[in-house]
Structure 1
Amino acid sequence: MGSLKPELFNLQVDNGIDNKRQFSTSRQYSAVLCMNLLTFSYGFTCGWLSGALIIFNSDETPLITKQLKTEEIGWIASAIAIGGFVANLFFGWLSERTGRKVALYVVVVPQLLSWIFVYYARTPFYLVVSRILGGFAGGGLFTLVPLYTAEISDDKVRGVLGSFLVLICNAGLLFAYICGGYFDYYTQIYMIIPFSAAFILLFAKYPDSPTSLIKRKLFDEAEKSFLFYRSIEKYSREAKSLFEDNVLNAQSNDEKDNKISVKDFASKSSKKAITYGIALMVLNQFCGCFAMVVYAASIFQISGSNLSPVNSTIIVGSIQIVGALFASLFVERAGRKFMMIISSFGIAIGFSSLGMYLYLQTIGMKFEGYSFIPLVAFSSAIFLGNLGVITLPFMILNEISPPKIRGFTSVLCMSVLWICVFSVIKYLPNLIEIMELHGVSFLFALNSFIGGVFIVICIPETKGRSVEEIMKIMDK
């Protein structure tokens, strides 16, 4: 962009101020927690159907069509992926045009509309529309929140703040399990809507990210945003220099992104990044963890667990949070590849154990005193899934992708992810009817085992390595 003009930066510089001691990340934490109020609500959307399916198939159903058919259940559950697929493309475009903050406020609209459709639902069609809207909001969040978080965070807290997305989404899912077990259909809606409303009010004071403002040539606003998120009142030369570096980097990356050509995809690193990224997204869904969680209450009904479906799903929801927390704590210590390997093979063992128990049960074996096994096996698979396969592919994808095609690779792989989400959730009820639950458990175990072998052979360890080092490994 050429040399920076001094008049772009109007705030006063105080040479006596040491910003190393003044930098604070408190506003970064509060902003990320605030935007993740919407993520909490999306987690509720994901978990709500588990308990709602029991209501829809009972005498208390609000639907005039009474009990849902298997095909209707599949469409209602999987419709969330249709919205997510469209949102992945739409919000990437919108955030570049209007900024991250405006795009996040747009997310609130489909999120609230989805619950309005749930409230007035009288036929399965209302529920399908609601899930599409909810998925559209979720797709927007998984596009915008990581981007916004990365752009306002200091290096020392970026990893921790980035982990909030999955943690808080899992917290929302657990809240949905609890509400589904202990509150009626309409009360659940009243309990989740305030989270979106709270975001509207609380996030108003936070400025757009500096990077987003720089890309739109709003340098004065970008400078103020930079100072705001670091809680700097007086401006030192060190802080000014850091901001100017951000301007140069943002505009340099923007120029590079606009010059992507076919040649950029010809290198080994580019081909591998796209291939590995797609494979990781397929594993993320075809390991079965997310789909099984969506239908968790119904699955525990089928399995004959000694705990009620409600209590079982609450335990599983809690274990998901613990797994995601462990992932955020140990990913920088143990490494991405090691945790992905443990996660993949661990899911295979967990679902194999569940499948074996259910198979032996179907051939007449009695397990008096051992009816806790389905819960333990299921919970182990979900815990280990959140330790790696569910949480880390998105981080690995960004790390193994060449910077110039990173945006394209992210959009492509997230599109593949949403297609996989739709496929697995839509046809899981049909698979359970055809293969029974034990057969489906064995299938997911096999997929996870194959995924583990793939990770061992192909995926490089990226922990502690620079972009240049990773690209050299990917080019071999």
Structure 2
Amino acid sequence: MGLNKFQLFRKEFRYQYLATFIVQLTAFIFGIVIGFTGPNLELFKSEKTPLKGGPITAEEESWIGSISAFGAIGFVLIYGWISERFGRKIAILLIGIPQTMSWVFMALANDVIYICISRVLSGIAGAGCFYVVPVYVAEISDKRIRGALCTSFSVICNIGIFIEFILAEYMDFRNAAILIGLVSLGFMIGFYFMPESPQYLISKRKIDEAECAFKFFRGQQPNEQLSENSQADFDSMKEIAKDHDKSESKIKIFRNHISQPGTIKGILIAITVAQFPVMSGCFVLITFNQGIFTAADVRVLSVFWSSLAFAFIQIIAAICTAVFIDKIGRRKILTWSSFSSAICLLIFSAYMFLKTNANIDLNDVTWIPLVSLLIQVFVSSVGIIPVPNFYVSEILDQKVRGLVVSVCSWWSWIEGFLVIKFYPILEQSLGLYSIILFFGLTSIFCGFFTIFFLPETKGRNIEEIAKSIGKIENSQKSSNDTNDKY
């Protein structure tokens, strides 16, 4: 059996994998940023803190944990505008500037101010990473592997979190910053040689350039003839440019297009789905994982090994998603993930309630919080966390995709900032069990919303998906009209 029998080694997919790997180095680096707070906040609060000002206060802890999200809030829409005005490639390359500078400041950090500046810059980079990168990957991918490539974003990000836990345990955070800064420079150099998204070039009526880029990502030379299947996919992309007037502003195009069947429905679905990761409680669990394990008095493993298992399971889960997303489908995975996550969170919440409010001896079952959280992080990392990152881009028409995705990203960063900033205060006033209970209930909502409102996108062109929402809506109206006659 030759290597080309394996999908990874097929010529038509190779450069899609290469471009995806390079661009998702930004996700790996932001995984480092996400993982930084778990172990390092505990270090900075202790008497062993390397900061010259001594142990940090609770207020400083909340700012270090949340300020990266705060930095992203002001730049999500800017990256969205750059992406639509100048292209996905320019927007992605610009991610590298604040990303690299953030690690320069971290390498120089000896007090809280430097750390906060570093995390603001990393948040600015993260704004572009979570908005532009999934769009770029979705637009360059063949529909047969689009789900796997899009979900690999979460795999790479989770690997970053895992690596950061190890770096924090065995390496000074300033030396680790130098290492990650070099990775950031490597990303900028590598991605410079990647083409622009064919869909974006088509939207700008640069058909010849779009065809060259499309052929590159399908492993063909510019002078080669497209295969029958590839030509059909390219022709499908060109359909989106037929009624595109370059003289119209994006807002005017959006206003004109929003009245078309299914557009409002698609936007409402996209906005809701974009909130799924926040609703699952992932921001809190990842940011404060070591503090949560300490509060639960986990005794089966040390706090470090519990956190490492937490991060490793995320990697395994994300790989499972990449392997099965195009076989099982988005809806089934999201439904299973949401309800399973809810069950685990409710079990953990019940345990913490009994531990803090009931006179019950739980010494023989201290494994419950560890097991419930590790299962929760697995099932949520399979679906409810990674899938919304690319599902939102899949269900929206190209004419409204950029604006809606940027607004969804902007609002998600605001939620992330608020949740992380006020978690320490709410945890002290309401108790950890109350917060986890809330996330369990919202995960149940995510499951039911998926069942009743989300269309399946597996194996379908992005344009076909967006059009089908309108067709479904029209068919439902027609059915209702027919029923009304009788």
Q: TM-score range by the shorter chain?
A: 0.7 to 0.9
Is 1:296 the counterpart of 2:270? The answer is no
**Structure 1 residues 204 and 279: CA distance shift in structure 2, 3 A:** closer
**Structure 1 residues 316 and 254: CA distance shift in structure 2, 3 A:** farther
Is 1:351 the counterpart of 2:345? The answer is yes
Q: Return the alpha-carbon distance in structure 1 between the equivalents of residues 448 and 225 of structure 2.
A: 51
Decide which moves more: 216-225 or 353-362: 216-225
Q: 2:380 aligns with which of 351, 367, 385?
A: 385
Q: Return the alpha-carbon distance in structure 1 between the equivalents of residues 243 and 412 of structure 2.
A: 26
2:316 paired residue number: 322
Q: Return the alpha-carbon distance in structure 1 between the equivalents of residues 373 and 125 of structure 2.
A: 29
1:4 paired residue number: none
Structure 1 stretches of 4+ with a deviation exceeding 6 A read: none
Aligned pairs for 1:194-343 (under 5 A) are: 194-213=182-201, 221-233=209-221, 235-238=223-226, 242=231, 245=235, 248-249=238-239, 251-252=241-242, 254-255=244-245, 258=250, 259-262=252-255, 264-266=257-259, 269-306=262-299, 307-343=301-337
Whichever residue aligns with residue 401 of structure 2, its letter is: R
Aligned pairs for 1:105-254 (under 5 A) are: 105-213=93-201, 221-233=209-221, 235-238=223-226, 242=231, 245=235, 248-249=238-239, 251-252=241-242, 254=244
Decide which moves more: 422-431 or 23-32: 23-32
1:100 paired residue number: 88
Whichever residue aligns with residue 65 of structure 1, its letter is: G
Whichever residue aligns with residue 443 of structure 2, its letter is: S
Cα deviations by residue, 1:364-417 (Å, 9 ceiling, x for unpaired): 433334322221111111111112211122343234434542333222222221
Whichever residue aligns with residue 416 of structure 1, its letter is: W
* TM-score, normalised via structure 1 length: 0.86
Structure 1 residue 128: Cα displacement: 2.5
**Structure 1 residues 457 and 28: CA distance shift in structure 2, 3 A:** closer
1:448 paired residue number: 443
Q: Return the alpha-carbon distance in structure 1 between the equivalents of residues 352 and 128 of structure 2.
A: 38
Aligned pairs for 1:22-61 (under 5 A) are: 24-61=12-49
2:64 paired residue number: 76
2:6 paired residue number: none
Cα deviations by residue, 1:403-453 (Å, 9 ceiling, x for unpaired): 542333222222221111112111111111112222222221122223323
Q: Return the alpha-carbon distance in structure 2 between the equivalents of residues 209 and 454 of structure 1.
A: 32
Structure 1 residue 262: Cα displacement: 3.4
**Structure 1 residues 57 and 164: CA distance shift in structure 2, 3 A:** same
Structure 1 residue 342: Cα displacement: 1.5
**Structure 1 residues 42 and 222: CA distance shift in structure 2, 3 A:** same
**Structure 1 residues 244 and 29: CA distance shift in structure 2, 3 A:** closer
Q: 2:401 aligns with which of 389, 392, 406?
A: 406
Whichever residue aligns with residue 262 of structure 2, its letter is: S
Structure 1 residue 31: Cα displacement: 1.8
**Structure 1 residues 27 and 335: CA distance shift in structure 2, 3 A:** closer
Contact 2:262 2:469 in 1 (8 A): no
**Structure 1 residues 236 and 106: CA distance shift in structure 2, 3 A:** closer
**Structure 1 residues 255 and 23: CA distance shift in structure 2, 3 A:** farther
Q: Return the alpha-carbon distance in structure 1 between the equivalents of residues 17 and 470 of structure 2.
A: 32
Q: Return the alpha-carbon distance in structure 2 between the equivalents of residues 247 and 461 of structure 1.
A: 20
Decide which moves more: 254-263 or 347-356: 254-263
**Structure 1 residues 55 and 153: CA distance shift in structure 2, 3 A:** same
Structure 1 residue 61: Cα displacement: 2.0
Report the 3-state secondary structure (helix = DSSP H, G, I; strand = E; otherwise coil) of the residue aligned with 1:61.
coil
* TM-score, normalised via structure 2 length: 0.85
**Structure 1 residues 247 and 69: CA distance shift in structure 2, 3 A:** same
Structure 1 residue 272: Cα displacement: 2.6
Whichever residue aligns with residue 372 of structure 1, its letter is: W
**Structure 1 residues 47 and 274: CA distance shift in structure 2, 3 A:** same
Q: Return the alpha-carbon distance in structure 2 between the equivalents of residues 368 and 328 of structure 1.
A: 39
Cα deviations by residue, 1:88-122 (Å, 9 ceiling, x for unpaired): 21122223444333332211111111122223334
Whichever residue aligns with residue 129 of structure 1, its letter is: I
Q: Return the alpha-carbon distance in structure 2 between the equivalents of residues 331 and 218 of structure 1.
A: 32
Structure 1 residue 266: Cα displacement: 4.1
Whichever residue aligns with residue 138 of structure 2, its letter is: A
Structure 1 residue 314: Cα displacement: 0.8
Cα deviations by residue, 1:267-305 (Å, 9 ceiling, x for unpaired): 663333333322223332022122211111111121111
- The total of aligned residue pairs comes to 456
Structure 1 residue 172: Cα displacement: 0.6
Structure 1 residue 334: Cα displacement: 2.9
Structure 1 residue 52: Cα displacement: 0.9
Runs of 5+ unmatched residues, structure 2: 1-9, 477-486
